Amino acid sequence: MPTARPSAKPKRHTAPVKRVHTADGSTCTHPIAPTGSPRTSECPGEFRYTASCWCGWSTSSGLRTITEDNARGHRTR
């Protein structure tokens, strides 16, 4: 029976940025305007940007650029 060999390459850190509703933590897929307000009445309009990695690291902010900068810094480790 063949056995799996351990990989010599370390697992890469990934931290994709997602927009989540603050009330229930579900992913927000509603379109938003450049001002940050929702374009549809179905969206409650309260959301945050989060990024989390498989290693347990995570960050959250109301601004996408801050979350992206933090995630980019984590991926370079």
What pTM does this model have? Answer: 0.73
Of all helices (H) and strands (E), which one includes residue 68? Answer: helix 64-75
Q: CA 59, CA 65: separation in Å to the nearest integer? A: 12
Angle at 15 between CA 10 and CA 19, to 5 degrees: 165
Span 8-60, pLDDT tens digits: 677 788 889 999 988 888 888 888 888 878 888 888 878 899 999 999 999 99
**Strands, E assignment, 1-77:** 17-21, 47-52, 58-61
Closest-CA residue to 42 (of 21, 66, 67): 21
Q: Is the pLDDT of residue 2 over 60?
A: no
Tokens of 68: 């992206």
